[in-house]
Amino acid sequence: METRFYADQSEVMARFIRILGLSMTVIFSVGTMIGAMVTMYAAVANRPIKIGTLRALGFRRGGSILGAF
């Protein structure tokens, strides 16, 4: 009887920890994706002259220039 009580109590706590962990994982994943997008945007936004020079030399937009960044 006592074992069943503690099993039920631990099941509730385990469910709470699982939900908390899942929600924190989702929040941190979204934050990480936003941080990566900001970093990539900054890498491209700070180099318009270099990108323009590469385009003038004949490099393609999608393949070569995008691959360089």
Q: What gap in Å lies between CA 4 and CA 7, rounded to an integer? A: 5
| Tens digits of residue pLDDT in 47-62 | 888 888 888 888 877 6
One-letter amino acid for residue 4 of the chain: R
Residues 24-45 have a mean pLDDT of 93
Residue for token digits 């990108």? 51
> What ranges do the domains of the chain cover?
2-68
pTM beyond 0.85: the answer is: no
CB 23 within 8 A of CB 52: no
